[in-house]
Amino acid sequence: MITLPELPYAKDSLAPVISANTLEFHHGKHHKAYVDNLGKLIAGTDLADRDLETIIAKVAGDSAKAGIFNNAAQVWNHTFYWNCLKGGGGGAPTGPVAAEITATWGSYQKFAEELKNAGVTQFGSGWAWLVRDGGQLKITKTANADTPLAHGQKPLLTIDVWEHAYYLDYQNRRPDYLAAVIEKLINWDFVNANLG
């Protein structure tokens, strides 16, 4: 059974970049709604006792099961996103990912600029990602509920660019939200753990 995970920190611990008010709505209403919707959609099916990754893999690309995919992917994406953040995070990476970022983009500054640009240029709702694709690090973006899991990529980091992720704090200033998350909230320990 899929359940709403607890946030890995207190609701006010990402402030002022992301307010407790935003987390109350984003986690407590939006993320919860995806969990609840998914539960209803898979109840009584062969997917009812499967984990999110298995559900996503089984229904990806099946237009008849788009509702299941969208809700399952949104539950997974959001859970992953919460873990990509921490109060006092952000800035230049540490650990093994730092060398890989420098080797791929030449500098952290170039990486940060491209990650921000992926989020800014995602038309409508979606996600900006750092992924491992084959042996390479790549910055990519997905629309709506799409996830790198459906494309054979390994997610390392994501930033949610659905309006509900930032609108209460930033209104229409998505670039400001992205810059603040990158500079002050990225949990590089989590990113490094995903490299393995």
pLDDT along the chain (196 residues), means of 10: 95 98 97 97 95 96 95 98 98 96 98 98 98 96 97 97 97 97 98 93
Looking at the domain assignment, is residue 149 inside a domain?
A: yes
Print the domain residue range for 159: 96-195
Give pLDDT, residue 1. 84
Residue 103: count of CB within 10 angstroms of its CB: 10
The widest CA-to-CA distance across the chain, in whole angstroms, is: 51
Residue 150, domain CATH: 3.55.40.20
Which residues have C-beta within 8 Å of that of residue 171, sequence separation ≥ 6?
Answer: none
Considering its fold, how many domains does the chain have in total? 2
Judge contact between 20 and 12, C-beta under 8 A: yes
Give pLDDT, residue 196. 76
Collapse the DSSP code of 16 into the 3-class scheme (helix H, G, I; strand E, B; otherwise coil) and give the result: coil
Q: Are residues 138 and 184 in the same domain?
A: yes
Domain boundary among 36, 59, 83: 83
Instruction: Give the Cα separation of 128 and 150 in Å (integer).
Output: 15
Q: Are residues 47 and 120 in the same domain?
A: no
Give pLDDT, residue 31. 98
Q: Are residues 68 and 132 in the same domain?
A: no
Q: Are residues 118 and 77 in the same domain?
A: no
Q: Are residues 79 and 100 in the same domain?
A: no
Domain boundary among 83, 107, 134: 83
pTM: 0.97
Q: Are residues 116 and 182 in the same domain?
A: yes
Q: Are residues 115 and 45 in the same domain?
A: no
Q: Are residues 191 and 165 in the same domain?
A: yes
Residue 67, domain CATH: 1.10.287.990
